[in-house]
C-alpha cells in the first residue's frame, strides 16, 4: 500500500550532508528506521527503537499535504533523529509544480531529502505522460533547491515508465522487497541503477503505538 509508506531512512542521506555516523555494536539491535503514518506521540519509544532517522509522510496521493507532517517533523527534530518527508505524487491531479510547492512550503526545517514514491497505483497508464510528469516534478524540486530521491522497485518503475527509462538513475534509490531479509544481495540492477542505497525489508511491525516498516542499508560491493 503506497499510501502507507510513512517513515524511511537510508545511509546515503547522512553522507550527503557531510556527516559520518559510526554505529556501535551496542545498538545493533535497533532498527535504522521505522515508517508510519499519522501522529507520533511516543517519542521516547521512537528514540529507543530507531538508530538514526525517520521520513514522515508528507504528501498524499489524493493531492494534498499530509496534515500531520509539519507537527511530526517539529516533534522529531529535537530528538536528534534525522527527519524529512516522503511524497506520494497525485498524477491524476496534474500540476506537479504546485504539488512540490505545496509540500516544500509546508515542510519547514528538515534534515533529510524528500523521497518520491513510484508505485503503479499512484500513476497513469501512459508511459510518456508519466515521464513528463516526473520530469516536471523534479524540475520544480531543483527550482526550490530541495533534493529528492526514489522509493520503488523494478516492477513498479517499469510498469509506470517503461523498461528503457533510465534518466533518473543519478538519484538515490530505496527498493521495496519485503522478504524479511536485511541483505541487499537480491538487488537486480534496473533503470540505470547499479545498486540501491536501502531496502524496505519488512512491513507492518507493531511498535511505539503505531505500525512500522523497517529499512536496511545496502553496501554496493555486496550487490549484483
211-221 confidence digits (pLDDT tens): 777 888 888 76
- In the Cβ-directed half-sphere of 145, how many Cα atoms lie within 13 Å? 0
4 has pLDDT over 60: no
Question: What element of type H or E holds 114?
Answer: strand 114-117
Residues 139 and 149: their CA atoms lie apart, in Å, by 13
> Would you place residue 28 in the very low, low, confident or very high pLDDT band (cuts 50, 70, 90)?
very low
Rg (CA), the chain: 16
Q: Which three cell numbers stand for residue 173?
A: 534509490
pLDDT, one tens digit per residue, over 156-190 is: 999 999 999 999 999 999 999 999 999 999 999 99
Of 200, 190, 180, 201, which Cα lies nearest the Cα of 155? Answer: 190
One DSSP character per residue, 183-216 reads --TT---BTTBSS-SEEEEEEEEEETTEEEEEEE
Amino acid at each position: 500500500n503506497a499510501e502507507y509508506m510513512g517513515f524511511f531512512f537510508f545511509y546515503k542521506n547522512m553522507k550527503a550532508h557531510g556527516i559520518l555516523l559510526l554505529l556501535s555494536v551496542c545498538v545493533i539491535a535497533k532498527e535504522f528506521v521505522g515508517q508510519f503514518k499519522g501522529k507520533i506521540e511516543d517519542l521516547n519509544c521512537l528514540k529507543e527503537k530507531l538508530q538514526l532517522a525517520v521520513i514522515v509522510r508528507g504528501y498524499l496521493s489524493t493531492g494534498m499535504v499530509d496534515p500531520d507532517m509539519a507537527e511530526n517533523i517539529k516533534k522529531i527534530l529535537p530528538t536528534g533523529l534525522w527527519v524529512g518527508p516522503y511524497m506520494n505524487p497525485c498524477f491524476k491531479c496534474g500540476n506537479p509544480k504546485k504539488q512540490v510547492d505545496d509540500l516544500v512550503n509546508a515542510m519547514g526545517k528538515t534534515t533529510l531529502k524528500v523521497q518520491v514514491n513510484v508505485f503503479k497505483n499512484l500513476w497513469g497508464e501512459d508511459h510518456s505522460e508519466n515521464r513528463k510528469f516526473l520530469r516536471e516534478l523534479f524540475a520544480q524540486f531543483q527550482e526550490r533547491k530541495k533534493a529528492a530521491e526514489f522509493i520503488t522497485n523494478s516492477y513498479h518503475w517499469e510498469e509506470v515508465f517503461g523498461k528503457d527509462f533510465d534518466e533518473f538513475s543519478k538519484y538515490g534509490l530505496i527498493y521495496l522487497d519485503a522478504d524479511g531479509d536485511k541483505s541487499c544481495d537480491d538487488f537486480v540492477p534496473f533503470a540505470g541503477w547499479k545498486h540501491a542505497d536501502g531496502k524496505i525489508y519488512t512491513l507492518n511491525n507493531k511498535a511505539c503505538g503505531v505500525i512500522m516498516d523497517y529499512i536496511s542499508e545496502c553496501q554496493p560491493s555486496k550487490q549484483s
